[in-house]
Amino acid sequence: MTNGQSERREMTGAEMVVQALKDNGVRDVFGYPGGAVLPIYDELFQQDDVRHILVRHEQGAGHAAEGYARSTGKPGVMLVTSGPGATNAVTPLQDALMDSIPLVCLTGQVPTSLIGSDAFQECDTVGITRPCTKHNWLVKDVNKLAAVIHEAFHVATTGRPGPVVVDIPKDVQFARGVYTPPQMAPRTSYQPKVQGDLDKVKAAVEMLAAARRPVIYSGGGVINSGPEASQLLRELVELTGAPITSTLMGLGAYPASGKNWLGMLGMHGTYEANMAMHDCDVMVCLGARFDDRITGRISAFSPNSKKIHVDIDPSSINKNVRADIGIPGDVGRVLEDMVRLWRATVKTDRKALWPWWEQVARWRARDSLAYRMNDEVIMPQYAVQRLFALTREHDTYITTEVGQHQMWAAQHFHFDSPNRWMTSGGLGTMGYGLPAALGVQIAHPDALVIDIAGDASVLMTMQEMSSAVQHDAPIKIFILNNQYMGMVRQWQQLLHGNRLSHSYTEALPDFVKLAEAYGGHGIRCEKPGDLDDAIREMISVRKPVIFDCRVAALANCFPMIPSGKAHNEMLLPDEATDEAVANAIDAKGRELV
């Protein structure tokens, strides 16, 4: 930064915070004031470079910052007070940790002299957030404050990105000290390795070139690595001619309209993606981490394949699945080497993969995402498909909550570019989508930002409708309302003898009136025939919209890999009769888990 103001000079801790934000390129901060951060809020009030977005709950600030980060590739910033402000931030911090989202959280703390005295709104913030951050700091010396904030941004955004917390006691905010501008002197103990080992990359290219049944399995790491990584991934797929699937987090890195696309893999992935994973001879995992939602039963996971695993976090390699070639490094850099080496050394034999593609075609013909249309009731899959069809011409960003609607969105809404899909994958945080949509809309004021939501999830952070109205963020909350916690119910049907313990929401609010009460716009749609017009109305309204889409109450999410089963033992929608669902997990499977 060549900001004239960012030189060594004396100022208060609170001024330093705002100056450090500016010096780190921060335009927007999501937060909520309170006693222990008032000096910082006073500084924010007296300047215009950093915009503060007031939320209604600190969890909302965190998810909004996450949505902002995921859709821009820049770090998200949140500012909260001590005690309850900090504890409310814990859920988004853990969410960002599990999905590797750069999130800088500044917390106020009681004055240094009161720490440990059980003061009003005191909590051990660094203690509570230690396991849910990449790193955290308690700053007791105002002269170190600026350097710590710069380091916090560096740690959050480099290596495997993640959340960080800087806890700032109130007396440090008032104290005067010397501000140090950002400088590139990272601590010697933190040196993430980004370049992959070239010999291993060579071996990987050779292995992939010799494959007859290859599959590429990409994840959120490709998105985190930046748009170049997605471009290189597309080149690698084109060069190798291999089929490609992706995790929930990686959707959009390879275009869903691309001819090599198999759809998402995993528990609710497509038949062709999971079968290809099971039957492949070489698997290339790029920036994904073999999560348990992906692998199914580990002992039966892709039994006959050689596995290449590229990940920026060395601890991800060999954690769940043993890699034959493990390459720690930034997936973008490694992809660059792979593409270059492939071009230089491999003569692609397209015909060699023909039998494999014929097999893939047979799996695709199984049409695993099919569902039975209904003229009377809106099928949730149909709702997502229409939403996709009618928003294609727009600059669209999608967030979701967690549950059946999330899986239907992943299956039926198709992404052709990265950073367009914001969802809570690792932690599975219900209530993520609405505030995340707010964050996306703040970053992209003219875009169409839609939270594909469930009726249960959305109520967890519904209060952020008020923030959206205040900040003129015309987010669209598209609720697939089946009046159930659908995914909970689905598991109760599978595992607990269809005893639907507390998974039916008996007293849902009138979502249309709720939207109006917040100052937004409410739409209800109950018939498939009315859906298109209602969606068009939603798109055209220039204010926050809650769309109450009444869908088939008992629809379940298929295909599915039931518990204890392997990729080739999927439960397909046309086989999922009540009886099949009840018996999908046999006694042995139940004992297993």
Partner 1 sequence: MNAQLQPTGSAYFIAKETEHPEIHTLSVLVDNEPGVLARVIGLFSGRGYNIESLTVSETEHEKHLSRITIVTRGTPHVLEQIKHQLERIVPVHRVVDLSVRALELGQERPLERELALVKVAGTGDARVEALRLASAFRANVIDANTEHFIFELTGKVSKVEQFIAIMKPLGLVEVCRTGVAAMNRGAQGM
Residues at the interface with partner 1 (CB under 8 A): 126-127, 130-131, 134-136, 138, 155, 187-190, 292, 295-299, 313-315, 317-319, 491, 494-496, 563-564, 585, 587, 589-593
> Could you tell me which of 469, 196, 232 has the C-alpha nearest to residue 325?
196
Give yes or no: 58 in active site: yes
What is the full DSSP assignment across 511-558? HHHHHHHHTSEEEEE-SGGGHHHHHHHHHH-SS-EEEEEEB-TT----
Whichever of 405 and 414 has its CB closer to partner 1, that residue is 405
Whichever of 198 and 298 has its CB closer to partner 1, that residue is 298
Give the Å distances, CA to CA, from 7 to 44, 139, 166, 185. 19, 21, 22, 16
Least spacing, CB of residue 285 vs partner 1, in Å: 17
Give yes or no: 184 in active site: no
Pick the catalytic residue: 11, 30, 43, 58? 58
Residue with tokens 């929608």: 573
Residue with tokens 């075609």: 361
Whichever of 15 and 167 has its CB closer to partner 1, that residue is 167
Give yes or no: 170 in active site: yes
Tokens matching residue 269: 């992935």
d(CA 297, CA 303): 11
Give the Å distances, CA to CA, from 446 to 472, 534, 537, 538. 11, 21, 17, 15
Give yes or no: 231 in active site: no
Radius of gyration of the chain (CA): 25
> Could you tell me which of 205, 249, 204, 209 has the C-alpha nearest to residue 225?
249
Least spacing, CB of residue 186 vs partner 1, in Å: 10
Whichever of 7 and 292 has its CB closer to partner 1, that residue is 292
Q: Residue 460 in contact with residue 410, Cβ under 8 Å? A: no
Tokens matching residue 265: 């893999």
Pick the catalytic residue: 11, 19, 98, 170? 170
Chain length of the chain: 593
Whichever of 391 and 457 has its CB closer to partner 1, that residue is 457
Least spacing, CB of residue 313 vs partner 1, in Å: 7
Tokens matching residue 23: 């010096």
Least spacing, CB of residue 114 vs partner 1, in Å: 17
Pick the catalytic residue: 11, 275, 283, 487? 487
Whether residue 559 has a cis bond before it, omega within 30° of 0: yes
Give yes or no: 301 in active site: no
Least spacing, CB of residue 400 vs partner 1, in Å: 18
Pick the catalytic residue: 120, 228, 373, 513? 120
Least spacing, CB of residue 247 vs partner 1, in Å: 16
If DSSP codes are grouped into helix, strand and coil, which group holds residue 226? coil
Which helix (H) or strand (E) segment is 12 a member of?
A: strand 9-12
Q: What are phi and psi of 144, to 5 degrees?
A: -100, -10
Tokens matching residue 266: 């995993």
If DSSP codes are grouped into helix, strand and coil, which group holds residue 44? helix
Whichever of 184 and 507 has its CB closer to partner 1, that residue is 184
Whichever of 198 and 592 has its CB closer to partner 1, that residue is 592
Least spacing, CB of residue 173 vs partner 1, in Å: 19
Pick the catalytic residue: 121, 195, 231, 470? 121
Least spacing, CB of residue 583 vs partner 1, in Å: 12
Whichever of 134 and 521 has its CB closer to partner 1, that residue is 134
Give the Å distances, CA to CA, from 455 to 451, 475, 519, 582. 12, 16, 20, 25
The alpha helices in 413-522, defined as continuous H runs, are: 433-443, 455-458, 464-470, 486-495, 511-518
Catalytically active residues, by annotation: 58, 120-121, 170, 487
